[in-house]
Amino acid sequence: MAAPREIGTFVVWDYLVFAGMLVISAVIGVYYAFAGVGQQTSKDFLMGGRRMNAVPVALSLTASFMSAITVLGTPAEVYRFGAIFSIFAVTYFLTVVLSAEVFLPVFYKLGVTSTYEYLELRFNKYVRLCGTVLFVVQTILYTGIVIYAPALALNQVTGFDLWGAVAATGVVCTFYCTLGGLKAVIWTDVFQVGIMVAGFATVIIRAAVVQGGIDTILSDAYEGGRLNFWNFDPNPLQRHTFWTIVIGGTFTWTSLYGVNQSQVQRYISCKSRFQAKMSLYINLLGLWTILTCSVFCGLALYSRYHDCDPWTAKKVSALDQLMPYLVMDILRDYPGLPGLFVACAYSGTLSTVSSSINALAAVTVEDVIKLRFRSLSERSLSWISQGMSVLFGVLCIGMAALASVMGALLQAALSIFGMIGGPLLGMFSLGILVPFANSIGALAGLMSGFAVSLWVGIGAQLYPPCSERMLVLHLETYGCNSSSNGTSWVTATEMPVSTSVVAFVSLRTPLMDNWYSLSYLYFSTVGTLVTIFVGILISLLTGGRKQNVDHRFLLTKEDFLSNFDIFNKHISNNYLEEKAVLSYKSHPMEDGGTDNPAFNHIELNFTDQSGKINGTRL
């Protein structure tokens, strides 16, 4: 190819397309604020009245953690490290199965609004408080970065106004979250997933035309070593191999889908457990679609710039600017299409930020406000929930402003987000899977897992792995025009290269070359396993086997098989009728839910002793 091109900037049509996406998102919030009976109770606001259907919830689940960091970062990842990233398709499958069959049944039958309610039911209020605090801290930190990072990348390539984008994202998300609650968030996510797919499709189609077809893109990728799908090296120090992605990635993503409030809040808002499980499995198709699009965009990036890398040639100052650079390169003659891609990137940001704001409001109301002010009416709690949405929206915008001066700490902050998720996953796993786990073991496990994962994560930031552990693929510049000075529009930002590795290679210790070089995908794995191991050990030493544990707080065979048709008759006849654990008396008030005890308005009357573990009634 020729030398790196002079890349254009946004025109009026691009701004109009982007503004249209923001306006439609805001209108959805207004609609759900006034549609029907509005937000009469906190359950209406936070849980959509628990009457949501599987398909919109599935699309919302897909959008929630497919932020602009995914839209911009995954293609750059494939460009630099190859298509082995596509093995995450296996990770997503395992994550969805574990979330749907292990964690969902327990959360759903308890009818919780905040996942951290479970921790008090299973352990005590101090465990619940620890979980809530960790979630709030990680979510505010992560959400601020999600707002700021893509705005910076797009600003430096397209000329798109940085702080205008940050403010617009924060204000619009806060607006429709505050007015429309969870229903607005879910239906806006549905719209935004459509925008994301349209943006990706536009880039893929145009890249295929420019490069002479999909065959050319795949051929260039093959010759450049980018089709490196199968690396079965079991070494945990290698950044991405089949095993690090499948094992480490499954722990990381299960901490998001299995126990993270942003995701759990969505699928337990469904009107039945079957719908909730279906939302997770349908969401899997969405995850695979976004992954396929982003990986192919990375291959298109390489095909376009395989002989003149814009990063090495100093046409971009960071890898996450490569996708905007490609867009302005191949779509600059089509007014409005660069704006569609920016709308695609910001759709990912809006979905993540809105999910975070709604989840933060939910845990604050359920885990703090309700516990301190038990006499508040549902109407008052609804207003407080809306106020919390405004507060957390402002805090997230403030965090974005703070991120602008954090420099190299941005990546560290993103790693900390993953490090917190692992210990939390371990603590929930203790409660659901280990009947003798007690509150002392849960707290000790959480603190131990958090300390160890924080240790390895921060160590990895201070002493990055050597380049041979990163498996970086070669980038060429022989096709660049040497007369191009490459300074037409790039502003100075930190290049993602660690000079400390070169300067201090002789000072590296075995700890740095081994423990701190652990693949980042194993941070969550380490946190989870340490939490479970310490939790089990301390529980056994502190009399955990003598405690009484309610069956409802554990995963049972009946929970696991509850939605498989082959077992339905056995469960309904033998388990419910022969054991006759519960009888019920319905109240006159009807509700649209079908099997969630949180909104069936049923009094449970215990008729025998068969539903107990160690003497405790169901």
User: Which residue is listed with tokens 């249209």?
Assistant: 20
Asked whether residue 394 is assigned to any structural domain, the reply reads: yes
Asked whether residue 5 is assigned to any structural domain, the reply reads: no
| Higher-pLDDT residue of 291, 183 | 291
| Higher-pLDDT residue of 593, 164 | 164
Average pLDDT, the chain: 79
> In 3D, which of 390, 353, 432 has the Cα closest to residue 99?
432
Asked whether residue 451 is assigned to any structural domain, the reply reads: yes
Residue 471 has pLDDT above 60, yes or no: yes
Q: How far, in Å, are 28, 169, 281, 310, 511 from residue 186 at the CA level?
A: 10, 17, 17, 38, 45
Shared-domain flag, residues 356 and 447: yes
pLDDT one-digit tens code per residue, 351-390: 888 888 888 888 888 888 887 887 788 778 878 888 888 8
Average pLDDT over residues 466-491: 63
**Separation CA 541–CA 539 (nearest Å):** 5
Average pLDDT over residues 249-277: 90
pLDDT one-digit tens code per residue, 310-322: 988 888 888 888 9
Shared-domain flag, residues 537 and 554: no
- Tokens standing for residue 276: 């909730």
Residue 2 has pLDDT above 60, yes or no: no
What is the model's pLDDT at position 609? 41
What is the model's pLDDT at position 173? 81
Q: Are 257 and 92 in contact (CB under 8 A)?
A: no
Of the pLDDT bands very low, low, confident and very high (cuts 50, 70, 90), residue 280 is: very high
| Higher-pLDDT residue of 5, 251 | 251
What is the 3-class SS of 451-509, one letter each residue? Answer: HHHHHHHHHHHHCCCCHHHHCCCCCCCCCCCCCCCCCCCCCCCCCCCCCHHHHCHHHCC
Asked whether residue 3 is assigned to any structural domain, the reply reads: no
Shared-domain flag, residues 183 and 268: yes
Q: Are 410 and 399 in contact (CB under 8 A)?
A: no
Of the pLDDT bands very low, low, confident and very high (cuts 50, 70, 90), residue 414 is: low
DSSP string, 79-148: HHH-GGGGGHHHHHHHHHHHIIIIIHHHHHHHT-SSHHHHHHHHT-HHHHHHHHHHHHHHHHHHHHHHHH
Residue 335 has pLDDT above 60, yes or no: yes
pLDDT one-digit tens code per residue, 542-583: 988 888 888 889 988 777 666 554 444 444 444 444 333 333
Asked whether residue 614 is assigned to any structural domain, the reply reads: no
Q: Are 592 and 582 in contact (CB under 8 A)?
A: no
Structural domains counted in the chain: 2
Residue 149 has pLDDT above 80, yes or no: no
DSSP string, 144-186: HHHHHHHHHHHHHHH---HHHHHHHHHHHHHHHHHHHHHHHHH
Shared-domain flag, residues 344 and 447: yes
Residue 402 has pLDDT above 60, yes or no: yes
Q: What percent of the chain clears pLDDT 70, i.e. is strictly above it?
A: 79
- Tokens standing for residue 330: 């191949």
Average pLDDT over residues 419-428: 92
Most confident option among 17-31, 43-57, 58-72, 122-136: 122-136
Helix (H) or strand (E) holding 2: none
DSSP string, 19-46: HHHHHHHHHHHHHHHHSTT-S-SHHHHH
Shared-domain flag, residues 275 and 207: yes
Longest dimension (CA), the chain: 87
User: Which residue is listed with tokens 């596509």?
Assistant: 86
Average pLDDT over residues 54-70: 86
CATH number at residue 38: 1.20.1730.10
Residue 540 has pLDDT above 60, yes or no: yes
Residue 34 has pLDDT above 60, yes or no: yes
Shared-domain flag, residues 469 and 555: no
How many CB atoms are closer than 10 A to CB 372? 7
- Tokens standing for residue 571: 């469960």
Its pTM surpasses 0.75: yes
What is the model's pLDDT at position 588? 36
pLDDT one-digit tens code per residue, 452-465: 998 988 888 788 87
Shared-domain flag, residues 452 and 585: no
What is the model's pLDDT at position 318? 80
Q: Which residues lie closer than 8 Å to 575 by C-beta, 6 or more apart? A: 558
| Higher-pLDDT residue of 591, 431 | 431
- CA 103, 105, 108 angle in degrees (round to 5)? 105
Shared-domain flag, residues 522 and 562: no
Residue 492 has pLDDT above 70, yes or no: no
What is the model's pLDDT at position 130? 92
What is the model's pLDDT at position 290? 93
**Separation CA 420–CA 170 (nearest Å):** 24
What is the model's pLDDT at position 566? 41
Residue 179 has pLDDT above 50, yes or no: yes
Q: What percent of the chain clears pLDDT 90, i.e. is strictly above it?
A: 33
Average pLDDT over residues 181-209: 90
Average pLDDT over residues 258-270: 89
Residue 466 has pLDDT above 70, yes or no: yes
Shared-domain flag, residues 534 and 572: no
Q: Are 528 and 536 in contact (CB under 8 A)?
A: no
397: containing domain: 12-483+498-544
Residue 200 has pLDDT above 90, yes or no: yes
Shared-domain flag, residues 450 and 573: no
What is the model's pLDDT at position 36? 52
Asked whether residue 115 is assigned to any structural domain, the reply reads: yes
Asked whether residue 618 is assigned to any structural domain, the reply reads: no
Shared-domain flag, residues 533 and 557: no
**Separation CA 384–CA 365 (nearest Å):** 8
Helix (H, G, I), strand (E, B), or coil: what is residue 603? strand
What is the model's pLDDT at position 152? 76
Residue 406 has pLDDT above 70, yes or no: no
Residue 193 has pLDDT above 80, yes or no: yes
User: Which residue is listed with tokens 């457990």?
Assistant: 273
Average pLDDT over residues 525-547: 92
Name the residue type at position 598.
Answer: A
Instruction: Determine the straight-line distance between the first and last CA of the chain, rounded to whole angstroms.
Output: 70
Asked whether residue 514 is assigned to any structural domain, the reply reads: yes
Residue 532 has pLDDT above 90, yes or no: yes
**Separation CA 316–CA 309 (nearest Å):** 9
The residue from 525, 544, 563 where one domain ends is 544
Average pLDDT over residues 38-61: 77
Shared-domain flag, residues 472 and 574: no
What is the model's pLDDT at position 495? 37
| Higher-pLDDT residue of 372, 159 | 372
What is the model's pLDDT at position 581? 34
Average pLDDT over residues 433-461: 92
What is the model's pLDDT at position 608? 42
Residue 7 has pLDDT above 70, yes or no: no
What is the model's pLDDT at position 51? 78
**Separation CA 324–CA 150 (nearest Å):** 10
Q: What is the DSSP letter of 613?
A: B
Most confident option among 162-171, 291-300, 498-507: 291-300
> In 3D, which of 92, 81, 96 has the Cα closest to residue 229?
81
Residue 167 has pLDDT above 90, yes or no: no
Helices (H), 404-438: 409-433
DSSP string, 256-287: HHTT-HHHHHHHTTBSSHHHHHHHHHHHHHHH
